[in-house]
Amino acid sequence: MKAKDIKKLTVTAMLMAMNIVLSMEILSIPVPGGHLYANDIVICTAALLLDPFCAFVVGGVGAFLGDMIFYPTPMFVSLVTHGLQAVVIVLMTRKVLTKKPVLSAIIAITVGAIIMVTGYSLGRAYIYSTPEYALAKLPFQFLQAALGYIAIPLVYGCGIKKAYDKLMK
């Protein structure tokens, strides 16, 4: 295994661990019908840094494991929804407005937010057999999705992208 692969594996594992930790109820904000989690910040950060597979591992598998440990009912919804969200963000930032990475990230995270809100709303309606529950949680889903935008100043404003690129060279 090459040093670059070990570094990428380490960063992926660290971000996945952060996603799992941010899935803890003790670190969440109670809202009507559940909790608001900050793990979208980590998922979007991973998607802005990593390749599609590693971003899926951080977003989908990390959210799945966090749910499995702390609240297993929606774990498969989390796997699919956050995994797809992360992969779409990666692919869009690499294909849309590549000369303007911040604008590209804004557009990609917006699409990812739509995927996350839609996926969780449909998943909740199916799991709990009540669309009313999903509708009641909808405003908080939008708020959680909006937390993903915090990744943009972290990655581009605080130098995380430069540090990651330097680490990978």
Question: The whole model's pTM is what?
Answer: 0.93
Cα-based distances in Å from 118 to 43, 66, 85, 113:
17, 20, 11, 8
Radius of gyration of the chain (CA): 16
- Report the C-alpha gap between 68 and 62 in whole angstroms: 10
Residue 44 pLDDT exceeds 80: yes
Query: For 54-73, what is each residue's pLDDT tens digit?
Result: 999 999 999 999 999 988 88
| Interior angle at CA 13, CA 78 and CA 11, nearest 5 | 120
Residue 77 pLDDT exceeds 90: yes
Query: Which of 76, 48, 62 lies closest to 16 in space, CA to CA?
Result: 62
Strand partners, 31: 34
- Report the C-alpha gap between 50 and 64 in whole angstroms: 19
Strand segments (E) across 25-119 = 29-31, 34-36
Looking at the structure, give the CATH architecture of the domain made up of residues 3-168: Orthogonal Bundle (1.10)
45, 92 contact by CB (below 8 A)? no
Query: For 103-144, what is each residue's pLDDT tens digit?
Result: 999 999 999 999 999 998 888 778 777 777 777 788 888 999
Query: Which of 161, 166, 130 lies closest to 45 in space, CA to CA?
Result: 161
Strand segments (E) across the chain = 29-31, 34-36
Which amino acid would we find at residue 63?
Answer: A
**Residue 99 CA, distance from chain mean position:** 24
